[in-house]
């Protein structure tokens, strides 16, 4: 049994068109083709097993000179958690002053990743 997924590698500007074949023969393995360097293989397997993304957004700001405070995740989170993350951020309202790097939400969704401020206000 095997199935193939096509994707474009984003490790560098080359943008290799890759095919990732999933081989389920007792153990699940992935065969990456079309990549021109090892980073492509790494990226392809990661996308198949646990694709992650950094999330950048804003939260409500109470007493800043702007209405929104920009924030980001301290590290990439699993892709399927993005909408849950956005829902959490929607409910947050921050009171200043805030310094860049301040933790706004500790241990987001139990992922051991924080939401941090990306500017001082």
Name the site residues for another protein (rule: CB under 8 A). 7-8, 10, 13-15, 36, 53-58, 60, 65-68, 70, 72, 79, 82, 86, 100, 118-120
For another protein, give the closer residue by CB, 23 or 66: 66
For another protein, give the closer residue by CB, 12 or 23: 12
Expressed in angstroms, the distance from the first to the final Cα of the chain is 55
Please give the C-alpha separations between residue 13 and each of 17, 20, 23, 105, 107, in angstroms, as whole numbers: 12, 19, 29, 34, 33
For another protein, give the closer residue by CB, 7 or 109: 7
Q: How far is the CB of 90 from another protein (least distance, A)?
A: 9
């Amino acid at each position: 049994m095997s199935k193939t997924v096509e994707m474009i590698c984003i490790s560098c500007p080359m943008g290799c068109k890759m095919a990732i074949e999933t081989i389920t023969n007792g153990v699940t393995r992935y065969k990456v083709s079309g990549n021109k360097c090892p980073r492509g293989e790494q990226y392809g397997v990661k996308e198949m097993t646990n694709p992650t993304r950094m999330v950048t957004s804003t939260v409500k700001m109470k007493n800043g000179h702007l209405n929104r405070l920009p924030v980001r995740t301290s590290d990439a989170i699993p892709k399927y958690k993005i909408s849950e993350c956005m829902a959490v951020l929607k409910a947050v309202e921050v009171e200043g002053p805030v310094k860049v790097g301040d933790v706004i939400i500790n241990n987001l969704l139990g992922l051991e990743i924080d939401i941090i401020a990306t500017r001082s206000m």
